[in-house]
Amino acid sequence: MVNAALPDPLSDQLRSIVAGERQRAVYGLLFRRRGNPPTEHEMRFFIENVAGEEFCSLDEVLSPLDAYFDIRRNAAPDVTFELVGWTAKAASASRRSSVSLRLRAEVLASQRCAQCGRTPKRDGARLAVVQKIPINWGGEPHRDNLEALCEECNVGRQQFFAKWDHIADRIRGAVAMADPRQRIGELLRAMSPDWVRADLIEAVACAREYQDDWQRRLRDLRFLGWDYEHHNRKLDVGERTWSFYRLTKSAPWPANIATAIKHEAQRRKLEVLASN
């Protein structure tokens, strides 16, 4: 158990980490019943009849919450579900996710989802303040890392990033780098000797600013003494073909990356001219 204040069920803090409305409803039940934890039967009834979700399994429903909260399963005399606190890692992240009321108002001033453009007035969208760089990737609640997303876009965003939660510790160091080429290189180094799928490389390359040609940034590594291998494959029958990359060589970063790339390109050009 980690002794950090739990978020209110209606707070933006909870909305930023638990995008699904049904999961927040289940959290609300656990939050309100901390002194009298609900039984398994009560949980099933709530999920099917109040949260509006066809029951599959409690573990499946609680899984998104387990990533952030310590939900204790007590076995006797009846199975109960007790919301104890944050998980250790999530408690540390929650302290970095707090957004002041002034900053929240500034982010929401546009009254428009930054991803799809829907608005509360025209479309009935409910906006939340979220971090562009996820908390577990090292994101901080600074103005340039915050945006307003509607609930649907926030759900999709969380699902997009959730597939890499198990390697977030390795991603974090790469995302901290200022230059996109450094972010790509450090990601490949952190993941070595594993193959890295192209969508993760793109996400890390674009973490701090959008890159309209992240593949070029990847190729730039070869002008800096780095190298990698590449192959394409399908993960399953009928799926799309993915590109994968694996680091084969690394080098120290120069003081000025752009200048180093320019000089190496010129050197190679002169070498080609001299050989003709």
96-133: pLDDT as tens digits: 556 788 888 999 999 999 999 999 999 999 898 888 99
Residues 188 and 234 in one domain: yes
Which of 74, 93, 112 is the last residue in one of the domains? Answer: 93
Give 216 or 86, the one with higher predicted confidence.
216
Count, residues in the chain: 276
In a domain, 105, yes or no: yes
Please give the structure tokens belonging to residue 167.
Answer: 């390697």
Residues 134 and 222 in one domain: no
Residue 166 binned pLDDT confidence (cut-offs 50, 70, 90): confident
- Residue 1 has a pLDDT of 46
In a domain, 67, yes or no: yes
Residue 52 binned pLDDT confidence (cut-offs 50, 70, 90): low
Residues 180 and 222 in one domain: yes
d(CA 140, CA 114): 18
Which of 70, 93, 116 is the last residue in one of the domains? Answer: 93
Torsion over CA: 134, 135, 139, 144 (sign): positive
Residues 170 and 262 in one domain: yes
Residue burial 231-259, b: 16+ Cβ < 10 Å; e: rest:
eeeeeeeeeeeeebbebeebeebeeebee
Give SS3 for 124.
coil
Residues 172 and 122 in one domain: no
Residues 71 and 40 in one domain: yes
Domain count, the chain: 3
DSSP run (H or E) holding 128: strand 127-131
What global pTM score does this model have? Answer: 0.68
What range defines the domain where residue 171 resides? Answer: 165-275
128: β partners? 149
